[in-house]
Structure 1
C-alpha cells in the first residue's frame, strides 16, 4: 500500500513540477490513438493484401511467358549386328513459351470484380476498426478524469471525517458524548482511507488503459470539451446509421461478392479457348517453333460443377440474410446506446437533486449535533449520503459523455473525418491505385516502393 502512495506521489510531483505544461485535450488523445494504434496498422496490412488480390485477378487477362532450359546426359546400350554398342551423349535445349486465355466466358472479369468488391468490403472493416480505436480512447480519457475526480472527492471526504473525529474527541473530553461516538468516527475514518486507496488504485488502472489506447500515459488532462451533435431523435439516428455504418456497407459488398460468385459458378460450366506459342533451340542449333489453339470443356466432373453452383446460391442467401441481420443488430445497438444516454441524463438530473437535498441535510444534522440534538453517527451518515450523491453525479456525467460517443459509433460516424481532428489520415486508395494494374517493375513499381516506405514510417 505504501508503494501505491509513493507512485501517486511521484505522479503528483511530476504534475506540480510542470504547471506551465500544456494540458492534454481529448482531441490530443484521439489523435494519439489514431496514430499509434497497432490494431489499425494490422488492418491496413489486411487491406493492402486485399488490394493485391485485384492485381492477381488482373493478371489472368495477360499472357504467361516462361522459359525452360534443359540439359541431360544419356547413356544406352544398343544391340547391333556386331554386338552390343554403347552410346552416350549430352543434349540441351532452351524453350521460350507463351500462353494466353482468349475466351473464358467472363471468368477472369468476374474474378476482378469479386476482388474489387472484397477491397471495398475490407475498407469498411478498416473504418469500423477506426471507430473502435477512437471510442476506446474516449473511454480511457473519461475514465482517467473520473478516477482523478473520485480521488479528489475521497481526499476531501477523508479531511472532513478527520475533522469530525477531532470534534468528537473534543466533545468526549468534555463529557458531551461517549467513547462509542469516538469509535464510530474512527471506524468511518478507516473506511474513508480504504476507499481512498481503492480510488487511487482505480486511477492507476485507468492510466494503464489510457496508455494502451493512446500509446502513452496521461499527463495533465484538460476538461472535457462539449459533446458532439448526435441528432434530435432515435429515428433520425437510425436512418443515418443504415446509410453510413461501415458494418452495413461491408455486408452490402459481401452480398455483391456472393452474387458475382453465382455468375462465376455458371461461367465455370462453359468452355475456355486458349492460345499457345513456343520457340526452342537444341544443342545442335536447330530451332523449333509451335503455335496452337486449344478448346477445353468439362463434360462430366462427378457433379462437382453443379454442387459449386448450388453452393454459390446458398452463400448468396447467407450473405443476404447476414445483411438483414446486420441492419437489425446495428439498429439494436444504436437503440441501446440511445437508451443508455437517456438513463445517464436522467441520473445526472436526479443526482443534482440528491446532492442539494443531501447537502441541506448534512448542514442541518451537523448544526443539530453541535447543539446536542444529534449523535456523531447521524453526522457521519449524513456525510456519507452526501458523498455517495456526489460520487454518483461524477459517474453519471462520465457515462453521459461516453454515451454520446457510443451513439456516434453506433451511427457509424465516429471517425477522424467526422470529428474533424485536422490530421492526415490513411489513404486506402493510394496503395490500391499503385497495384491495381498489376505492375511488375516499372515507374509504378518505384511509386509502390515509396508508398510502402511511407507506410512503414
Structure 2
C-alpha cells in the first residue's frame, strides 16, 4: 500500500468516526441541577436526619405495646449461727430464670400525645429537607451561571488583548513613518499590559468558579449552554406572597413545629397524672446444691402516680409551654421572612431585567462609538488614547452585559426559591427523586427484625450502607 493510500485511508477513518460521534452535546442547566441533586452530600445528611426522626415515631409506638424482658441470676446465701456454744454454718446456691412482662393500659393520653408529636416532627423535618433541596439547587444555579459568566469574561479579555496588540503594532508602524509620537506607542503598550493583567485575573476567577461548580454539582463543568429567561414569572408580588405563605417549606415546617410543641405540652401535663399498667411475672428457681425446684408467677394491675419529685414535673410543663410559645414566635418570624424574601426576589428580578436592557443599549452605543473613533483616528482626527478609551468603554459595556445576563437567570431562580418551587419535582428534572415517606412507611409501626417488613427494612438499610 502506498503512502498516499495510507494517508487517505487514515483520513477516512477519522472522518467516519467524527460523523458517527456527532457534535458534542452542550450541557444544560437542567443537567447540572440533576447532578447536583444526586451528588449533594448536604441532601444525604438531611435525609439521614429525617430517617432518625422517623425512628422517633417507631419508638413512641413501641411504648404502647407490651414490654417483655427475661431475667436470670445465681444467688449464693450463707449464714453462721452460734447457739449454746455451738456454731453452725450453712450455705445455699440457687439459680433463677424468669420472664417479666408489662403493658401500659392508660396514662391519660400522654403516650398518644408523644406519638402524634413525633409524627408532626417528622412532617416538619420533611419540610426542612425540602428547604435544603432548594438551597442546594439554587447554589448549583449560581455556580452554573458563574462558570458561564467567567468563561465569557476570559473570552472577552482574550479578544480585547488581541485587538490591543493589533493597535500596538499599528501604533508602532505609524510611529516609524512619523504619523504618531512615542507617547502614542507608550499608551498602546500600557493598554496591552493592563489587558494581560485583566486576562490573568479573569482566568483566576474562572478557575475558582470551576471549583465552586465542582463542589455544588459534584463534577467538573462541560460545555455549558446559557439558559433562557423564565418569562412566566409575573409581577403580581401580592399574589406571590400569598402563595408562598401557603406552600413555602419554611412556613410549613414552622406550622408543624407549633403543632408538635402543643402536643408535647399536653403530654407534659398528663405526666402529672397516674398510669395504669398490667404486669406479669413467671420465674423458675433451682437449688444448685440440692434437688429443690420451684416455680412461681404473678399477674397484677398496677396504678402508679407521682406524689413528689422535687418540682421536676411542673418544671417540665413550664418548659414545654415556653417551647410552644417559642415555636409560635418562630412561625410569625418565618412568615415575615418569607414575605420579605418574595418581595426582594421580585425586586431583584425586575432590576436585573432592566439592567440587562440598559446594558444591551450601552454595548450597542459603545460599539458604534469605538468603530467611529477608530476610523477618525485613521484620518488623524483622533489620537491613539481616544481609540484606547473607546475600546475600554466597549469592553466595560460588554462585561456588564455578560454579568447582567447571568444576574437575570440567578434572580429568576431565586424567585422560584422564595416561592418554595425550586425543587427537583417542581422543575421536572430527569432524576429519581427521594421519597421521604418510603422509609417512614417501613418503620412507623416499629417492626421487629423477624417480620416481613423488618426483613425488607434490613435490605433497605444494607443498600443505604453501600451508598
TM norm structure 1: 0.93
Gaps of 5+ in 2: 1-20, 287-291
Is the partner of 1:364 in helix, strand or coil? Answer: helix
**Counterpart among 419, 444, 463 of residue 436 in structure 1:** 444
**Counterpart among 64, 67, 71 of residue 64 in structure 1:** 67
1:217 equivalent in structure 2: 220
Is the partner of 1:199 in helix, strand or coil? Answer: helix
Q: Distance in 2 between matches of 1:221 and 1:354?
A: 26
Please tell me whether residue 202 in structure 1 is matched to residue 211 in structure 2: no
2:116 equivalent in structure 1: 113
**Counterpart among 137, 154, 168 of residue 165 in structure 1:** 168
Task: Spell out, residue by residue over 1:389-434, the C-alpha distance to the aligned partner (whole angstroms, 9 max, x if none).
Answer: 0000000110010100011011110001100113211111111010
Please tell me whether residue 399 in structure 1 is matched to residue 407 in structure 2: yes
Please tell me whether residue 20 in structure 1 is matched to residue 23 in structure 2: yes
Q: Distance in 1 between matches of 2:371 and 2:199?
A: 23
2:422 equivalent in structure 1: 414
Q: Distance in 2 between matches of 1:423 and 1:226?
A: 23
Please tell me whether residue 303 in structure 1 is matched to residue 311 in structure 2: yes
Gaps of 5+ in 1: 1-17
- Report if the CA contact (8 A) 1:337-1:410 is conserved: yes
1:86 equivalent in structure 2: 89
TM norm structure 2: 0.91
Task: Spell out, residue by residue over 1:188-239, the C-alpha distance to the aligned partner (whole angstroms, 9 max, x if none).
Answer: 0000011011111111111101110111111222232443733442112212
- Report if the CA contact (8 A) 1:365-1:379 is conserved: yes
Q: Distance in 1 between matches of 2:201 and 2:179?
A: 35
Is the partner of 2:25 in helix, strand or coil? Answer: coil
1:74 equivalent in structure 2: 77
Is the partner of 1:68 in helix, strand or coil? Answer: strand
- Report if the CA contact (8 A) 1:26-1:225 is conserved: no
- Report if the CA contact (8 A) 1:128-1:247 is conserved: yes
- Report if the CA contact (8 A) 2:235-2:346 is conserved: no
Task: Spell out, residue by residue over 1:8-40, the C-alpha distance to the aligned partner (whole angstroms, 9 max, x if none).
Answer: xxxxxxxxxx98332221111111101111101
| Shift, 1:385, TM fit | 0.3
Please tell me whether residue 101 in structure 1 is matched to residue 104 in structure 2: yes
1:247 equivalent in structure 2: 250
Q: Distance in 2 between matches of 1:201 and 1:288?
A: 82
- Report if the CA contact (8 A) 1:330-1:410 is conserved: yes
1:3 equivalent in structure 2: none
Change (3 A) 1:159 1:352: same
Alignment of 1:215-294 (within 5 A): 215-227=218-230, 229-283=232-286, 284-294=292-302
- Report if the CA contact (8 A) 1:430-1:451 is conserved: no
| Shift, 1:455, TM fit | 3.4
| Shift, 1:305, TM fit | 2.7
- Report if the CA contact (8 A) 1:276-1:291 is conserved: yes
Is the partner of 1:227 in helix, strand or coil? Answer: coil
| Shift, 1:82, TM fit | 5.5
1:186 equivalent in structure 2: 189
Q: Distance in 1 between matches of 2:464 and 2:397?
A: 50
Change (3 A) 1:350 1:257: same
The worse-fitting range, judged by mean Cα deviation, of 133-142 and 73-82 is 73-82
Is the partner of 2:155 in helix, strand or coil? Answer: helix
- Report if the CA contact (8 A) 1:47-1:119 is conserved: yes
Q: Distance in 2 between matches of 1:266 and 1:309?
A: 6
Please tell me whether residue 382 in structure 1 is matched to residue 390 in structure 2: yes
2:341 equivalent in structure 1: 333
Q: Distance in 2 between matches of 1:393 and 1:93?
A: 86
**Counterpart among 399, 419, 432 of residue 424 in structure 1:** 432
**Counterpart among 311, 316, 322 of residue 330 in structure 2:** 322
Task: Spell out, residue by residue over 1:90-115, the C-alpha distance to the aligned partner (whole angstroms, 9 max, x if none).
Answer: 21111111111111000110110010
2:6 equivalent in structure 1: none
- Report if the CA contact (8 A) 1:27-1:421 is conserved: yes
- Report if the CA contact (8 A) 2:228-2:409 is conserved: no
Change (3 A) 1:228 1:271: farther
Q: Distance in 2 between matches of 1:342 and 1:184?
A: 40
Q: Distance in 2 between matches of 1:157 and 1:213?
A: 31
